[in-house]
Amino acid sequence: MYRVFHPRKARPASARGTFAGAAGLLLWVFFLAAIPLHARVEHKPGFNTFTPDQDIQLGKDAAAEMEKELVMVSDAPLNDYINRLGRKLAGFAPGHGYPYRFSLVNAKEINAFALPGGPIYIHTGIILAADSEAQLAGVLAHEISHVALRHSTNQASKAMLAQAPLAILGGIFSGGGIGGQLAQLGIGFGLNSVFLKFSRSAERQADQQGAQMLYDAGYDPRAMAQFFEIIEAESGNRGMEFLSSHPNPGNRQTDVMELLPSLGPRKSFSDRNSEFERMKRRASELADAEPAEQRRSEALEPSQPEEPSRRFQYFNADFFSIGYPDNWDIYGEGTSMLTMVPPQGIIRVGEDDLQAIAYGALVSVYEPEQQRGRRLTLSAATDQLIRELQRSNPNLRVIRRPQRSSGRQELLSVTALGQSPIGNETEVNWIATTFRPEGLWYIVFIAPERDFADWEPVFQQMLDSVRFPR
């Protein structure tokens, strides 16, 4: 309540009316100045069967297991810097007051991820790729937003409801031992967990919430979108891991620009980068400190894999099964991408010894965008997938348009050529897609062009073996 005047004695009616009108006008002007032209975007955490305290416990447990496998940075100034920057941003995070903790992983790959309840991990490759502190702050704000909006446990809650709705309604998760109970349902938050890879809707929410945090902390919100654009345009395979778990929700630059008027009045943003540049040099020295002998010992020389066995073994997931040669290896069980390759099918390329598939197959699910009021066809969804694959492999070009096959399950197949990781050779990518309740299910068969005809019968046998139980 605003008390603007308290008269000691009555005034004439005309004077009271004049003053009341002026006071009302002043109050109206005050409120108009206080209200932004557009209200800020507000996101609330979605459906969740977990409590915030359970988020925190799940994050602690997952962090303890993860750090046994990760190469953590022990450099005190770097750790102090990333935590000061992270805590500054977290002070503007919405929702529950999670105990945010920021840790650096000594890895050249461009990646970052957040666990439920507060632990956030940043690869040193992020620092090396960023051009400014504002861009680094954008990545941190984005990851903080995933925690604040509880995206990982929201996804786990949906999976639980689908797998064991009666158990959830019966209160199976009301007591202790939540980690063991989740494990029984195949739900976890370890490295490469599917629950740490988010939908485009969740990515857009994290972009918008992160942009608001950047503005409040004094950084240009556009820096976050600019950095993601840099990753997509210039990083190639170095950024594939980040982009696979942080899919582009659309035009990030445009989304952030449209959000700017709602954040508040125009102001000058921080462009202080001297400490950031010092920390970037320290991170570069960390990366260079890796012994060359160790890099050479880990590198795999390209070689011709042995002929695929015609005897098949079978992989059974929750929503599909597939056969593959019994002399092949399988990676990524329980994650969003399954890899099936022969020995020597994965090679290391480039100065960073990045892993690339020369022979084998990838299986995953893609979430296509559907235009309002229009039916999404399998052909249109497949075209979207091709465009997404071309983001990380600009040389990929379609040479045979989608061919439809009939049978138990409607399938489309597309053939595209790209750059093989083996020398300057051309690679054939045979892509098959079909709609499933989980999204656009797809498989990519990969081999150098000179060998593809010899491997194609095995690829066809694998595709024919695919079954969808529901």
Residues 434 and 395 in one domain: yes
Residue 45 lies in a domain: no
Residues 369 and 400 in one domain: yes
Residues 350 and 437 in one domain: yes
Domain count, the chain: 3
Residue 426 lies in a domain: yes
Burial (CB count <10 Å: 0-12, 13-18, 19+), residue 245? buried
Question: Which of 254, 288, 322 represents a domain boundary (last residue)?
Answer: 288
Domain that residue 215 falls in? 52-288
- pLDDT tens readout for residues 162-177: 544 434 333 333 334 5
pLDDT at 195 over 70: no
Question: Which of 255, 288, 321 represents a domain boundary (last residue)?
Answer: 288
336: domain CATH number is 3.40.1000.10
Residues 316 and 398 in one domain: yes
Residues 109 and 22 in one domain: no
For tokens 């492999």, the residue is: 393
Residues 284 and 393 in one domain: no
pTM of the predicted model as reported, rounded to 2 decimal places? 0.53
- pLDDT tens readout for residues 244-301: 555 565 666 777 788 888 888 878 887 778 899 999 999 998 855 444 334 333 434 4
Residue 160 lies in a domain: yes
Residue 43 lies in a domain: no
Question: Which of 264, 288, 312 represents a domain boundary (last residue)?
Answer: 288
Residue 42 lies in a domain: no
Residues 434 and 315 in one domain: yes
Residues 226 and 102 in one domain: yes
Residue 86 lies in a domain: yes
pLDDT at 396 over 80: yes
Residues 276 and 312 in one domain: no
Residues 92 and 173 in one domain: yes
Residue 139 lies in a domain: yes
Residues 284 and 302 in one domain: no
Residue 429 lies in a domain: yes
Residues 167 and 261 in one domain: yes
- pLDDT tens readout for residues 320-338: 999 999 999 887 776 667 8
